[in-house]
Chain A
Amino acid sequence: MHDNVIDQSKDITILELLDRVLNKGVILTGDIVISVADIDLVYLGVKLMLSSVETMEQIRSGKPIIKPILGK
């Protein structure tokens, strides 16, 4: 179970990272490049997110052991 927690936490951390890089930060008007690869990225992101939530729900059926996860 502990390995699952670590795996899903990594997934969430990667999603958090991608969300920040692609959706946050200083905006430079008029020169942001949006490429077609966004479609694949969004798809992977949603899939990962659903997987993470499902894993969490499995974990939740036992003793809650999610703890702060720091770093990449």
Chain B
Amino acid sequence: MEMMIYALASVKKNPEKLNMLLSRMKGISGAGIYAVNFNEISAVVSDINRADLIADRSNALEYAEVIETLAQQFTLLPMRFGSLMESTEAIIKMLERNYNEIQHNLQKVESKWEFGLKIFCDPEKLKAELMAKSEADIKTSAKPTPETRNSVYRDYVNNKLKEHRLEELILTYVDSVIAELTGHLARLNAVNKFKKMATASTIIDAVFLLDKDKKGELIQAVEALQKHYAGLNFVLTGPWPPYNFVEITIK
């Protein structure tokens, strides 16, 4: 039997509040959940057989539910699914070894939620619209030079130029959406991470960390952007525990 760690929670001077909450909760496969404490940090754990720990959808959802319930009342760092240690003593030593780094990260996410924003497009439609807007430029750049006017390479070169131009147009467009989005986020003091062109359809895949009381303002900002960019589809998810903003590896 080993112990799986769900999250590292800041209990400050009130570990009993956490114990009361945990006494009403169940972990993966209905296992009881309890806290292993070191100073003001608690590791939230349940006992589990390594052989029973399967990363399937059901277990992942149960795992997430534990973390989400805890996050409603405590500042925490979610652990990646499947984090096992062999004993209470080993967990206490781990907390002691990494105490300062864990505390530092807990402070960074205190009173904050994470949100995710995916912005989707219809790639072909977007390309067509951007090409139409810059048609004059493309014609100019595609004009054959005397050397290539009758060349067998002419069509190939022109197609390559067109593709390159199109990539530039799309990236410029995505950058303009990001610029507008970051303008809104800056006013909310949000920490954000962007991934551009995650797929041909997903032009922006972003996560934000912002104060819990700014949720309404974020929704308004995204709604305003959706109206402005009517051809794109915005999907905002959250509030999440800060999964994407705990960039630490502990030993």
Residues of A within 8 A of B (CB): 9, 12-14, 16-18, 20-38, 40-41, 44, 53, 56-57, 59-60, 64, 66-72
Contact = CB atoms under 8 A, between A and B. Distances in A.
A52 to B, nearest CB: 9
A36 to B, nearest CB: 8
A25 B226 contact: no
Nearest to B117: A68
Interface of B: 5, 8, 50, 53-57, 60-61, 63-64, 67-68, 77-85, 94, 105, 116, 118, 120, 122, 125, 199, 201-202, 215, 219, 222-223, 226, 230-240, 243-244, 246, 248-251
B235 A22 contact: no
B55 A20 contact: no
State the main secondary structure of chain B at its contact with A: mixed
Contact of B233 (A22, A41, A59, A70): A59
17 contacts: A12-B237, A16-B240, A20-B78, A25-B80, A25-B81, A26-B8, A26-B83, A27-B250, A28-B79, A28-B83, A28-B94, A29-B251, A32-B84, A35-B82, A56-B120, A57-B201, A60-B122
A24 B242 CA distance: 9
Contacts of B78: 20-21, 24-26
A1 to B, nearest CB: 13
Contacts of B80: 21-28, 32
Contacts of B116: 16
B107 to A, nearest CB: 15
Given A17-B64, A35-B54, A67 B5 contact: no
Q: What are the 9 A-B residue pairs with the smallest beta carbon separation, nearest first?
A: A68-B236, A20-B243, A24-B243, A33-B82, A25-B80, A66-B233, A25-B78, A28-B83, A37-B54
B127 to A, nearest CB: 14
Contact of B201 (A23, A32, A53): A53
Contacts of A38: 55
B246 to A, nearest CB: 5
A28 B13 CA distance: 26
A66 B234 contact: yes
B83 to A, nearest CB: 4
Contacts of B5: 28
B230 A64 contact: yes
A64 B55 contact: no
A44 B78 CA distance: 24
B81 A9 contact: no
Nearest to A9: B235
